[in-house]
Amino acid sequence: MAPYSDLPTPALVLSLEVLERNLATMATARPGAALRPHVKAHKCTGIARHQVRAGHRSFTCATPLEVVGMARAGVGDDLLLANESVDPRRLAAMAAAERETGVMVTVAVDSNTTVDMAAAAGLRHVLIDVNVGLPRCGCAPDDARSLAERAVAAGLIVRGVMGYEGHLMTVPEADKPGKVEACMSLLVDAFDSLVDVAGEECRIISAGGTGTYHVFGGDDPVMSRINEVQAGSYALMDSSYGAQPLPFEQALYVVGTVISTTAGERSSWAVIDVGLKSLGMDHGNPHIDGASVWFCSDEHTTFSMNDGSLPTIGDRVSVRPAHIDPTIAMHTDIHVVPRWGENVTEVWPVDLRHW
């Protein structure tokens, strides 16, 4: 990767070539509406626009601000908040964005409260969020029908169900299809339990992520019925997903500058200006090619080169974050290069930050 000598660091740097390759690989596997790309991974309408060009017009969001931001930016025409909100102002803001932009907004609901608040806010479409095994949001599968009845009674259109098997994203590849299918049978059964209540607009069975997108489909009576996958990380990748046998490449690095070096008798190290305030750390330390990362501090990462060499102060170093989603959420901008080693040609704001 080029030195990016004029870039203020720490900086997110994206290769458009790699992004496009990742998007094309996924669009071949899951074209059009078969993928509902998750914008929480990048929080950037600039990237979402490229996902539209790759053929997707329906998107997944994790926060009301992401929904409103996508709608107001005119990116996509079918936005799902795959999360529960009980904030009346934010629910109303999503309803207003739907009315004023014509973009369809759907929210996940998993309780009487979330159904009632969606209806009260003027939202029109919901998915019943079903717990398929990850202890997080989602109703018990047996409760899906009664929630759909309550939603219909409140005037809401139930578009289907969603369930996220997040606990299976990194299980060994050989175990994945069987384990995912066990979760998905709960989701498909929940769908079948409520479809007569919900009517003809009830068609969506939405699930999955970057770690499982490839196990859906085929002739399997359960897996063939998942008609949307909510993958997000595939577009940019990180060291956690990169450790899996997935056909996507790292498209984004956090670029830092060497600010200090120490050549010691027993050990030598270098320090870059990339640290805890520019890296999501929940999946552990980041990765630097050819180097061992010692530790990260608020504004620093200390590392040594595996070949014993010592970088020079001012050198640029590319850091692969362990978890892409919270990393991007710490930055204001993404610096775009056509290919690794070329100059920055565009800056895309991370315009869907916060809530």
- Residue 161 in contact with residue 205, Cβ under 8 Å? yes
Shortest distance in whole angstroms from residue 115 CB to a second copy: 11
Q: Find, among 137, 109, 103, 130, the residue nearest to 121 by Cα.
A: 109
Shortest distance in whole angstroms from residue 193 CB to a second copy: 18
- Residue 287 lies near a second copy (rule: CB under 8 A): no
Q: Find, among 296, 272, 302, 274, the residue nearest to 284 by Cα.
A: 296
Q: Using the rule CB under 8 A, which residue among 53, 99, 339, 354 binds a second copy?
A: 354
Shortest distance in whole angstroms from residue 217 CB to a second copy: 26
Q: Using the rule CB under 8 A, which residue among 326, 340, 344, 349 binds a second copy?
A: 326
- Residue 293 lies near a second copy (rule: CB under 8 A): no
Shortest distance in whole angstroms from residue 267 CB to a second copy: 8
Those residues whose C-beta lies under 8 Å from the C-beta of residue 183, and which sit 6 or more positions away, are 132, 133, 163, 165, 168, 207
- Residue 114 lies near a second copy (rule: CB under 8 A): yes
- Residue 233 lies near a second copy (rule: CB under 8 A): no
Shortest distance in whole angstroms from residue 89 CB to a second copy: 7
Q: Are strands 252-263 and 268-272 parallel, antiparallel or unpaired?
A: antiparallel
Shortest distance in whole angstroms from residue 300 CB to a second copy: 6
Question: What's the CA gap between 58 and 38, in Å, rounded?
Answer: 9
Residue 35 has φ and ψ, to the nearest 5°, of: -120, 135
Rank residues 34 and 80 by Cβ distance to a second copy and give the closer one.
80
Rank residues 106 and 131 by Cβ distance to a second copy and give the closer one.
131
C-alpha to C-alpha distances, 198 to 8, 70, 201, nearest whole angstrom: 53, 27, 7
C-alpha to C-alpha distances, 210 to 142, 228, 325, nearest whole angstrom: 28, 12, 13
Supply angle C-alpha 77, 136, 119, rounded to 5: 45
Shortest distance in whole angstroms from residue 55 CB to a second copy: 25
Q: Using the rule CB under 8 A, which residue among 40, 145, 150, 214 binds a second copy?
A: 40
Q: Using the rule CB under 8 A, which residue among 166, 177, 217, 242 binds a second copy?
A: 166
Q: Using the rule CB under 8 A, which residue among 8, 31, 32, 102 binds a second copy?
A: 8
Rank residues 113 and 343 by Cβ distance to a second copy and give the closer one.
113
- Residue 62 lies near a second copy (rule: CB under 8 A): yes
Q: What is the DSSP string of 217-264?
A: -TT-TTGGG--EE---GGGT--HHHHTSS-S----EEEEEEEEEEEE-
Cα–chain center distance at 162: 16
- Residue 248 in contact with residue 22, Cβ under 8 Å? yes
- Residue 113 lies near a second copy (rule: CB under 8 A): yes
Question: What's the CA gap between 127 and 36, in Å, rounded?
Answer: 14
Q: Kindly write out the interface string for residues 243-282 of this chain, putting x where it contacts a second copy by CB under 8 A and - elsewhere.
A: --------------xxxxxx-x--x-x-x-x--xx--xxx
- Residue 206 lies near a second copy (rule: CB under 8 A): no
Shortest distance in whole angstroms from residue 120 CB to a second copy: 13
Question: What's the CA gap between 158 and 233, in Å, rounded?
Answer: 28
Query: Across the strands, what pairs with 163?
Result: 207
Instruction: Map the footprint of a second copy across residues 296-325, applying CB under 8 A.
Output: 296-300, 302, 313-314, 323, 325
Those residues whose C-beta lies under 8 Å from the C-beta of residue 35, and which sit 6 or more positions away, are 26, 27, 56, 213, 228, 229, 231
Shortest distance in whole angstroms from residue 251 CB to a second copy: 19
Span from 24-32, 51-59, 129-137, 174-182 in contact with a second copy (CB under 8 A): 129-137
Residue 25: helix, strand or coil by DSSP?
helix
Binding site for a second copy (CB under 8 A): 8-10, 40, 62-63, 83-87, 89-90, 110-111, 113-114, 131, 135-138, 140, 166, 257-262, 264, 267, 269, 271, 273, 276-277, 280-282, 294, 296-300, 302, 313-314, 323, 325-326, 329-330, 332, 354-355
